[in-house]
Amino acid sequence: MSEIKEAHLDNGLMVLLKPVRTAPVATCWVWYRVGSRNEVPGITGISHWVEHMMFKGTPSLDKGEIMRVINRNGGVDNAFTSSDYTAYFELLPSDRIDLALRIESDRMVNALFAPEEVASERTVIISEREGAENEPRFWLGEEIQAAAFKVHPYHHDTIGWKTDLETMTRDDLYAHYKTYYAPNNAVIVAAGDFDADEMLAKIQNAFGALPRGKDAPPVKTVEPPQEGERRVFLRRPGPAAYFHAAYHAPQATDPDYFPVFVLVGVLSGVGGMSFSGHGSPGRSSRLYRALVETGLAVDVDSSFRATLDPGTLDVAATVRPGVASEKVERAIFVELEKIATTRVTEQELAKVIKQARSQFVYAMDGVMNVGGWLGQLEVVASYKMYESFLDNLTKVTREDVLRVAAKYLGETNRTVGWFIPTNGGAAKPRARK
C-alpha cells in the first residue's frame, strides 16, 4: 500500500492523497466539518438540506448539470450528511478526475440557493422525512436519540424536526452555507490511479485561489453524565414490537474506542466496515444465540459508530410474534451483564479480530472506500487512525473488553425504548415500577 501524502494549501484546505494503481480510475471526496452536530433548535436538518442545494446550480453549472456531466464522462457522484460531516464524492476514469475538481471548487463558494429551488426542495426534504416515518424503527430511534442526549446536538436526527423543515428560510440555508463551506473547514481526499505530486498541483490550481473563510463556530456543549435509566414508550400502528437501548459510549479519539469496537463484535459480529464499525447479526455471536436461536426475537443487532463527540452503543431487536416483550428485554440485559462481569474467551476475541481484519481488507477493495475511510476518520479523529486501525484492534485484550463493558453497559448509562404496535398482534411490555 502506497504512502498517504498530506498537504495544506495557504487558504487552510487540507489535502490527503492516496495513489492506488490497481485500475485506471480515481475518486475525489470533499469532506466539510459540518453536520447535524452544528445545528441548534429552529434549524435542525439544515446541513442535510444545504447538501441537497449544492446540486441546484452555480453561475456556471445549471441545475442537474453536475450529475449529467459526471455520467457523460463515465463516472458516478453523490453526497451524504451525518452528525459530524457532509461529504461529496465522484468516481471517474483517472484521466478525467480534473472534472470533479472543477465542480467541487465551483460549488464550494458559488452555489446559488435560488428561492424557487429552496421552495421546491422543502417539499423533497419533508417527503424524505415522511418516508422514513413509515418505518417504526425510525420513530423509535429518533425518540431514543432525543432522550439519550439532553443538551448535546446529537439530540436530533440528521433529517431534522419536521416543524423546523417547514419554517426554515432561504436566508437560513445560505447563511449556514457561507459559515461552513470554505477551504479552511474542508478536507479533500483523492485516491486512485495518479501521481501524488501531479494531483496536488491540480488541486492547488482548482482550489488555491478560493478565499479562506471565517473560523467555524465551535461546538462547546458537553453532554453531562447520565445518572439514571431513561425509558421511552412509543405507541403507533406497526407490524411488531421493537426494542432499542442506547448506552453512552466513547468518541473515536478515546482510548476506549477500540475495546468497545471489539465488545460490539463479540455481541453481534463484525459486519460491513465502510466508514464505521457496525455490528452485524453473526450467527455465532452472543446476542444472536441468546435471542434468535431461542425463538425470542426475529432479529437482534448492536452497533457503534466512530463519532467526533461521545456517541452511543446501541442494541436493537424485533420481538417474535407471540413472545412476551419482557422476555426479550431480560434476555438482552442478561447477556450484557454477563459480558460486563466475566471475561470473553480467547476464542471469541480471536474470532472478532479475524472478522475485523477480513472486513477491513474487503472494505479497501476499491478506491471509493479508501477515500471514504480517510476522510471520515480525519473529521472525527485523524486519517492516521486508518493506518493503525488493525494494529490497535490486535492490542485489545480480554481485560480491556471486560473493563469497557463494565464501564459503559451499566443500567444508569442507558436509555431504553419500546415501539408498541397499537393495531394488535404483538405482546406489550409493562412499564417498570
pLDDT value of position 430: 54
pLDDT of residue 270: 86
Long-range contacts of 290-298 (CB under 8 A, 24+ apart): 290/331, 290/332, 290/334, 290/335, 291/317, 291/328, 291/331, 291/332, 294/331, 295/320, 295/323, 296/320, 296/323, 296/327, 296/328, 296/331, 297/323, 297/328, 298/240
CA separation, residue 317 to residues 42, 254, 303 (Å): 33, 28, 12
370/386 Cα distance (integer angstroms): 9
Beta-sheet strands, E only, within 265-381? 297-304, 311-319
Phi and psi at 386, nearest 5°, equal: -60, -45
* Closest alpha carbon to 103 in 54, 32, 144, 164: 54
Output the nine-digit C-alpha cell for 93.
Answer: 476514469
Question: What are the C-alpha distances in Å from 124 to residues 127, 165, 305?
Answer: 5, 10, 28
314-333 residue pLDDT tens: 999 999 999 999 999 999 99
Name the pTM for this structure.
0.94
pLDDT > 80? residue 278: no
Integer Cα distance of 54 and 351 in angstroms: 43
Intervals of CATH 3.30.830.10 along the chain: 5-207, 230-421
Please answer whether residues 378 and 14 qualify as being in contact, where contact means their C-beta atoms are separated by less than 8 angstroms: yes
Tell whether the model's pLDDT for residue 188 goes beyond 80.
yes
Separation CA 15–CA 11 (nearest Å): 12
Q: Which fold has domain 230-421?
A: Cytochrome Bc1 Complex; Chain A, domain 1 (3.30.830)
The sign of the dihedral angle between the CA atoms of 194, 200, 205, 208 is positive
Q: CB of 376 within 8 A of CB of 276?
A: yes
Could you tell me if 145 and 157 are in contact, meaning their C-beta atoms sit under 8 angstroms apart?
yes
Calpha distance 104→55 (Å, rounded): 11
Pairwise CA distance, residues 76 & 68, whole Å: 10
d(CA 326, CA 427): 9
Q: Quick one: cell of 417?
A: 425504548
What pLDDT band is residue 366 in, cutting at 50, 70 and 90? confident
Give the up-direction half-sphere exposure of residue 198: CA atoms within 13 A in the CB hemisphere. Answer: 10
Q: What percent of the chain has pLDDT over 90?
A: 90
Residue whose cell numbers read 426475529: 298
pLDDT recorded at residue 273: 58
pLDDT-based confidence at 272, cuts 50/70/90? low
Give residue 98's pLDDT. 97
Residues 153 and 39: beta-carbon distance below 8 Å? yes
In the predicted structure, residue 277 carries a pLDDT above the cut 50: no
As a whole number, mean pLDDT of residues 361-368 equals 83
Q: Which residues pair with 73 in a beta bridge?
A: none
Q: Compute the Cα dihedral for 232, 237, 243, 245 and give only its sign.
A: negative
Please name the CATH architecture into which domain 5-207 falls. 2-Layer Sandwich (3.30)
CA-to-CA distance for 259 and 280, rounded, in angstroms? 17
152: cell is 448535546
Helix pair angle (115-132, 46-53), 10° resolution = 120
Q: What is the pLDDT of residues 128-178, one digit of tens each?
A: 999 999 999 999 999 999 999 999 999 999 999 999 999 999 999 999 999
Query: In this structure, is the dihedral angle defined by the CA atoms of residues 48, 49, 50 and 53, taken in order, positive or negative?
Result: positive
